[in-house]
A = this chain, B = another copy of it.
Amino acid sequence: MYNRKIPLDEFLKQREEVLNQWSTGKEVNLEEAIEYQKSIEESKRFSSKLASAIVNKETLIQPRAGVALPNEHLKLLKYLQDEGGADLLPTTIDSYTRHNRYTEAQTGIDESVRTGKSLLNGFPAVNHGVQVCRSIVSSLNVPVQVRHGTPDARLLAEITLAGGFTSYEGGGISYNIPYGKNYSLEKTITDWQYVDRLVGYYEEKGVTINREPFGPLTGTLVPACISHSVAILESLLAAEQGCKCITVGYGQCGNQVQDIAAIRTLEQLTKEYLNRFGFSDVKVSTVFHQWMGGFPQDEAKAYAVISWGASTAVLAGATKVIVKSPHEAFGVPTAEANANGLKTTKQLTSMLKDQVFTETSEIKAEMNIIEQETRSIMEATLKLGENNFGLSAVRAFESGLIDVPFAPALCNAGKMLPARDNNGAIRIYEFGNLPFDESIKDFHRKKLQERAEVERRQVSFQMVIDDIYAVSKGRLVGRPNKGNV
């Protein structure tokens, strides 16, 4: 792991290897790609659109979407743009590509051609290559981002940035811990330093590519201080490699006070740490993810969850909101279902745009606790790293200073357990090795005790399970007997 911008020669040497990982790698010509990127109009660039959203105090809307075949994929994106009114578009990558299993991705493509339906859960951009990407991105009127979950995303970055995408999601931590099992954190961080270096290279040549650490992590009862710490670390890592436009993210918890406090502190703390390490020229924006946990199967109920996320995103002042669809509980949505999620969201972002929402004392109190927690984690983490952000992160995970609930990655401690308090805010019930002082811990214990008393039961793993199911069963807090408390 580097603790400075990767020297150009080392970077270029590594590029050769990377481009050799799959046949389409040879399509990439970096200088030509930069020229191509420069030819893209401002209105189709992520960085510009985000900047003007901040000025206009708008919350932009963006779906997730990706299918196996190029024509179908373009048709899908056009539909989401024209019918759904998406302000920003995605290209969600399939799971084989995410695990660099390009041969299996190819099988998926071939089978999809044969059966006439997409058998992949996303768009296999590496297999399709640079020209196909360009033909898609250039046919759309709004900026397009790569969204994935790829631990080693170097080749994918090379191909998609040359392919005209102007934003790239992910990070060495956020695309490892929730998205893999056996990937070494050291390796994924190093690989993502390559991606950030590539973005930094474009930046040096005058082309800004937006970078977005993946905020929600496992999407399942993640306390804000955990996802904030990961976001800040990945922002520092990206900035170090020369990225200048970063969108930090957070997945809705469902308690509005906590969600608003989270988005506001996320922005503040990210800027604070970037400034502290001399990256004050980085532009920071925020993304709010509509509920990332299990959804209700009933579509009318799913619309309610989508709406609640949309309104909270606006009231929190997020720069953009990632939208779910009413099919969420079932499977990858049809184009129609996906557009419906967008339309619901747009109605609310427009209706709420003009409303003011101030900081209540509850929001301030919640911001205060999130700040304290995040600073505790960040300071302890930075101390471990010998001025190397990557090393800090690796050691923080090793020692459980940062601990993501329900993560599949073996390098995650998995000792921390969250649960909701009586108002539905996410608190922590097993701290594992989180570096919190007793006053913070007492706060959590007190909050959970309140709930335990109301429900007349102990805080336990059963309570956590109840909370995991709650939203899909029509509640926020997983009460023992629905409706009784």
Contact = CB atoms under 8 A, between A and B. Distances in A.
A27 to B, nearest CB: 38
Contacts of A307: 303-304, 306-308, 311, 344, 348
Interface string A337-381: 001111111111011111111101110000000000000000000
A423 interface: yes
Contacts of A254: 351
B355 A308 contact: no
B474 A304 contact: no
Interface string A389-420: 00000000000000000000000000000000
Q: How many copies does the complex hold?
A: 2
Contact of A256 (B342, B355, B422): B355
A390 to B, nearest CB: 39
A197 to B, nearest CB: 38
A471 B308 contact: no
Interface stretch (A88-96, A133-141, A293-301): A293-301
A254 B354 CA distance: 11
A261 interface: no
A200 interface: no
A347 B309 CA distance: 13
Given A307-B308, A346-B474, A354 B424 contact: yes
A358 B362 CA distance: 8
Nearest to A303: B303
Which residue, of A303, A306, A360, has the highest number of chain B Cβ atoms within 10 A? A303
Contact of A471 (B255, B301, B351, B360): B351
Which residue, of A339, A350, A360, has the highest number of chain B Cβ atoms within 10 A? A350
A282 to B, nearest CB: 29
A222 B346 CA distance: 25
Contact of A304 (B351, B358, B360, B476): B351
Given A354-B424, A358-B362, A305 B347 contact: yes
A296 B350 CA distance: 13
Contact of A301 (B308, B347, B354, B358): B347
Given A307-B303, A311-B311, A423 B356 contact: yes
A283 interface: no
A453 B236 CA distance: 42
A162 interface: no
Interface residues of A, number: 48
A310 interface: yes
Given A300-B343, A344-B300, A351 B308 contact: yes
A99 interface: no
A80 interface: no
Contacts of A326: 300
A469 to B, nearest CB: 13
B257 A350 contact: no
A126 interface: no
A471 to B, nearest CB: 7
Interface in A447-479: 471, 474-477
Nearest to A482: B350
Interface in A414-440: 422-424
A106 to B, nearest CB: 36
A407 B310 CA distance: 34
Contacts of A475: 350-351
A343 B301 contact: yes
A254 B475 CA distance: 24
A476 B352 contact: yes
24 contacts: A256-B355, A256-B357, A257-B356, A296-B347, A300-B303, A300-B340, A300-B347, A301-B344, A303-B304, A303-B307, A304-B307, A304-B310, A304-B347, A307-B307, A307-B348, A308-B352, A351-B476, A352-B476, A353-B476, A354-B476, A354-B477, A355-B423, A356-B362, A358-B360
Interface of A: 254-257, 296, 298-301, 303-308, 310-311, 326, 339-348, 350-358, 360-362, 422-424, 471, 474-477
Minimum-distance CB pairs A-B, first 3: A307-B307, A304-B347, A300-B340
Given A304-B347, A307-B308, A350-B475, 18 more contacts: A300-B339, A300-B343, A300-B347, A301-B343, A301-B347, A303-B307, A304-B307, A304-B344, A304-B345, A306-B307, A307-B311, A308-B311, A346-B474, A354-B424, A354-B476, A354-B477, A356-B362, A358-B360
